[in-house]
Every structure is written in structure tokens, then in C-alpha cells.
Amino acid sequence: MSTPHNAAAPGQIAKTVLMPGDPLRAQFVAETYLENPVCFNTVRNMLGFTGLYHGRPVSVMGSGMGMPSIGIYSYELFHFYDVERIIRIGTAGGIADEVQLRDVVVGMGACTDSNYAAQFRLPGAFAPIASFRLAEKAVQAARRLGVPVRAGNVLSSDLFYGDDETSLAAWKKMGVLAVEMESAALYMNAARAGKEALCLLTISDCPLRGESLPAEDRQTTFTQMMEIALETAE
């Protein structure tokens, strides 16, 4: 059955969903890589498609920006559409010195300044982490494709325009590689649902150094990350 945010009928969504933030990036992946892609959702223009990749059904759908948005879409996919795994393919801002524009980062863990975990009423702090199985598959796929990747902690922030100008430098001191806005919520939803999740991120800007790529590049040129995710899908 459909949900308030997803018009797909039962069986229209594959067990593995690739999830960029930008729905136009979802359309690009579907039209570039999938055989016979079919659009299953246009509600709120959050486009979703299912097609075949090397004979395997794969879906790709936008998540929107921020943890509340990916929280809604990933929850519905896990709980109402029997999706088993979600691979986020997103952009991030590099904050570690060794991270450069266009690098691909595997988010092994997701630090956060969000209160998203409060809903679970845990007796302590929860550490949102990726599925090791998916992360291992992604790293192996990257090696086959000849794409170097960096793996480690990322920061999922509720703020894009934050008032504390020192916050990223503080996270950098703790070895955090990059900042984005969705991974922690996805990892928590997957954990609660007993499902799998992984975040693959391409560095679109380095805010501490004032470096960035144009919006068009973020939408259509981060193909190495997309190909790693597709090779990881099952």
C-alpha cells in the first residue's frame, strides 16, 4: 500500500535502495545505469525508480535534505515496503586535512549533534554505525573499480548554517573525516528495523578551506560513488 510520501505499490521497490539526497541524482542514476527503469514515485517530486543492474533489481530514490527527511523515507522503505538495505549516495564537506574534493568516503560511523536518538529512550548514547557487511562489499567493489576510498567517522549535523564557527574544527580534532546531514538517522532507523544501511559520500566541498564544486557536478558527475554503490547492491 502507498504511504503519505510514497505512491509505490507492493513489489515495485527492490530489496536494495540507493538513496541520494537529490531526487534528480536519483533520476540520473536510473537513466544512466539501470535497464528499463520505471518511476514508482513522484509525490512531492521525491523521485523513485526501479530497474535492473546486471540482471538484479535495484531501486534508487531521493531522501531530501536532513535527518527528519531521510528519517521519514527510510522508515517507510524499511517498514512498509520490505526493503532490506539502503545505501546512501550523498555529498559531504571534507573536514580532515587528508580529505580532498571528489574523494569517496565510506561512513563507518556517524557522529551527530542531533537529538534523533531520543525517541528510542535508550539508557545511554547510541553509536550509529554502518553495516560492516555492506561496508566490506563496498570497499572490495572500489578496489575492483580502481577507486581509492577513505573509511571512517563522519558527522551528521542538523545545521547547515550553524552559529558556532568553531564546531567543525572541534570535530576535526576527533578524527572525523567529513560532515553531512543524513547518515546518523539512516543508521538508527536501520538498527531499529533490524535492516542494513551504508553511507557512501563524495566530497563536494571543504568548508574549512573554502573549496567547493558547482551544483551541477553534485547532481551528475559523482559517478565513482554511484558505481561502487551499484556494485555493492544485491
Residues with a known catalytic role: 205
* Residue-wise DSSP of the chain: --BTTB-PPTTSS-SEEEE-SSHHHHHHHHHHH-EEEEEEE-GGG--EEEEEETTEEEEEE---SSHHHHHHHHHHHHHHS---EEEEEEEEEE-STT--TT-EEEEEEEEES--GGGGG--SS----B--HHHHHHHHHHHHHHT--EEEEEEEE-S-SS-S-TTHHHHHHHTT--EEESSHHHHHHHHHHHT-EEEEEEEEEEETTTTEE--HHHHHH--HHHHHHHHHH--
